[in-house]
Structure formats: structure tokens, C-alpha cells
Amino acid sequence: MKSVHVVLALACGLGLGLAAQASPQHTHESHPAHATTAAPTPAQRWAPDAPLREGMRRAHTAVAELAHYEMGHMSAPMAADRAQEVQDAVTYMFANCKLSAEPDAALHGILVPLMSAAQTLKADPTKVSAVAEMRAAIAHYPQYFNDPGWDQPAPAEQVMHDEP
């Protein structure tokens, strides 16, 4: 639960930082929605910075490994570990990504649902549907960001399965 507060504080801090830089006539209606509403797809996808690329790859790898959990080939504690890896990757991105306002808002629309689903799975491993929610959140990343190599398969890693 503590990481939820850290992420929300970071997200709010980023939003407040943007609001503080706005003109005095700034109204809530002109403020881009964060986290709950999908940002419009840009005409040209944005270039991610290095921390965003690294964090998204870490999250993507952990979510891909959770497919084993969906199929019953991974224990609940291992799934919780992968959910923690997703949370750690998201926290890393919030702390280290340096994006302008539009790509930042689009990124929040990806990361907040991703973090929420990871927290759901970690808190209640019976909610396997959270894996599909994480996968759906990550699927939006290439719609907004031009990340060379994103579509290439991740290096094969041996995932240890629990013995029955």
C-alpha cells in the first residue's frame, strides 16, 4: 500500500508542477486529464527517454512472465513477485522520466492502470484478470511512443516454475 501512496504522490507532484508553471488564467478544463482518460493518439509518436524505455521493458518482461500464472504454471508467491517487479518499474519511471506535458499525460494514462492492476494481483492473487489488465495497459505504449526495438521479442529468460 505504501508504494501506491508513493506513486500517487509522484503523479500528483508532476501535475502540480505543471499547474504551477501555467498562466494565471489556467482552468481545470484546459488541464490534460491524467491517468483515468486515454490521451488522444499523437499524429507523430513521441520519442521515449532512456528511463522510460528501461522501465517499460522491465514491466513488459514481468507481465509476459505472468502468462505462466494465467495458465496455472506459476505459484501465487511468484506472481506476487512479478507484480512487485511491475510496481518497481512503474515507480522507477515516475521518478526518472523527463517528458514534456503531452507525452507525460499519455504516459500516466498507461502507468496508473498498470500500477493499479499490479497492486490488485499482489494484494489478491486470485484476481488473475489483473494480468490481462496489465497487458492491456502496456499495449497502449507503442501507440504513443516510438520506441525502436519494442516489437522485437525480449531475450529468452528461464522462468522457474514451482514444483507441484
pLDDT tens digits, one per residue of 70-104: 999 999 999 999 999 999 999 999 999 999 999 99
Measured distance CA(4)–CA(63) in Å, rounded: 18
| Parent domain of 66 | 2-22+47-143
Number of structural domains found in the chain: 1
In a domain, 66, yes or no: yes
pLDDT range class, residue 157, cuts 50, 70, 90: low
Q: Is residue 156 part of a domain?
A: no
Identify the residue whose cell numbers are 504551477. Answer: 20
Global confidence as pTM = 0.72
Q: Determine, yes or no, domain membership for 150.
A: no
Is residue 81 situated within a structural domain? yes
User: Would you say residue 160 lies in a domain?
Assistant: no
